[in-house]
Amino acid sequence: MKKFRWILAVLLPLGAAGCGTHPAPPAAGAPGDAGAATTFVLPADAQGVQTMTVAATRVAGYTEVSARIAADPTTVIRVYPPVGGRLVAVKVKPGDRVRKGQVLAELQSSDVAAARSDYLKARTDAEIKRKSRDRAKLLYDNQVYSEKDYQQAVADAEMAQAELNRAETALRVLDISPSGTSEHFSVVAPRDGVILDIGASAGEFSKSLDAPAPVCTLADLSHVWAVGDLFEKDLAALQVGAQAEVRVSAYPDRKWTERVEALSGALDPVTRTLKVRVQLQNADRRLKPEMFASIRLLRPAKDVLLIPADAVLRDGAAAFVFVRKAGRTFERRAVTLGDSRDAQVEVNSGLQPGDVIVSEGAFLLRAAS
């Protein structure tokens, strides 16, 4: 009677899954121990259970690291107005695409009038000194002026011309017309890019380059960086130029295949990681700075055993699969796992090529083991 109850307790869970069975006596070992080889017979009319033969597959190894998308810092420009004054208008917003020379902001500045005044005074002084030099030369040639007086006139003319050149250069750098009268100054984009941030608003006073924040920050996002954190234990298998696949959370069905461009020269003392950088082309501007990403660093191909992830069951921290021994007799066998690959997982130990395992419906058989 006790034996009948034991068989019934095993049959009921399998009957719920559409499978009837006559269990074989359990092998030696504790029933709940993933390392114990418990055997059972799979009935011929079992439903929802499929098997497969394990075979070696040549695949490229990889290390996957977490990353983020970042703008190339060599293309990030913080735009400060070159003159001080009151901001009249800010003409862009975060996210706007701008062209080189496009007006970003307008200022009303006394520095503009000062620059023009310096230029006009320098031009007048240079003209006077040039005429004085020409008159001194004529008098010197007729032996009326001494050589000392003539040399002084030449020196005065040269210094006046140098001051005029300085004033002209200042107007040219600021892109101010020497003949204008307006005190308004236009801050323009130094290059094509996308506005990342605005640091000022109309009505504020700017202290030129001493301002605590730029008027705006722009960057060229035609290419971006994927920057990841690589643990030092994985460093030996990686080198600059290695192939890498980048995925971002926003576009799970798309990947970017590039090469590792650079590794940082020192470990982060807090996280014990090394920065790895991959440059990505971003012509469509779909990749945005600070997006979450992952970098899969590919290693040379090797032969591994790949099985479906559904074939693996777990008992606490241990993993096991059902392996055919003979005919329709299966055993529960512990395995150690490696990297996951989509819906498959690598098996480092516990299986050999040619083993037949339950690939689908393994969870239905768990009660029998």
**What does the pLDDT look like over 318-334, one tens digit per residue?**
899 989 888 878 888 89
Burial of residue 129 (number of CB atoms within 10 Å: 0-12, 13-18, 19+): buried
Give me the pLDDT at residue 202, please.
87
**Domain covering 2-58+302-368: architecture:** Beta Barrel (2.40)
Q: Identity (one letter) of the amino acid at 147?
A: E
Q: Identity (one letter) of the amino acid at 233?
A: K
DSSP H or E stretch at residue 48: none
For 81-219, the fitting CATH number among 1.10.3720.10, 3.50.50.60, 2.40.50.140, 2.40.50.100 is 2.40.50.100
Domain ranges of the chain: 2-58+302-368, 63-74+221-301, 81-219
**What does the pLDDT look like over 243-284, one tens digit per residue?**
899 999 999 889 999 999 998 888 888 888 999 999 999 999
Taking the model in full, what pTM does it have? 0.60
- Do the domains spanning 63-74+221-301 and 81-219 agree at the CATH topology level? no
* Closest alpha carbon to 332 in 350, 305, 347: 350
Give me the pLDDT at residue 208, please.
66
Look at residue 210 and tell me whether its pLDDT is greater than 80.
no
**What does the pLDDT look like over 73-112, one tens digit per residue?**
999 999 998 888 899 999 999 999 999 999 999 999 888 8
Helix/strand/coil for 214: coil
303 contacts: CB under 8 Å, gap ≥ 6: 56, 57, 58
Look at residue 308 and tell me whether its pLDDT is greater than 60.
yes
The DSSP output letter for 234 is G
> What is the chain's mean pLDDT, rounded?
83
Burial of residue 205 (number of CB atoms within 10 Å: 0-12, 13-18, 19+): exposed
- Angle (CA) 83-93-176 rounded to 5° is 25
Are 323 and 294 contacting, i.e. CB atoms less than 8 angstroms apart?
no
**What does the pLDDT look like over 143-160, one tens digit per residue?**
888 888 889 999 999 999
For 63-74+221-301, the fitting CATH number among 2.60.40.1220, 2.40.30.170, 3.40.50.620, 1.10.3720.10 is 2.40.30.170
DSSP H or E stretch at residue 329: strand 329-341
pLDDT band at 297; cut points 50, 70, 90: confident
Compute how many other C-beta atoms are within 10 angstroms of the C-beta atom of residue 37.
17
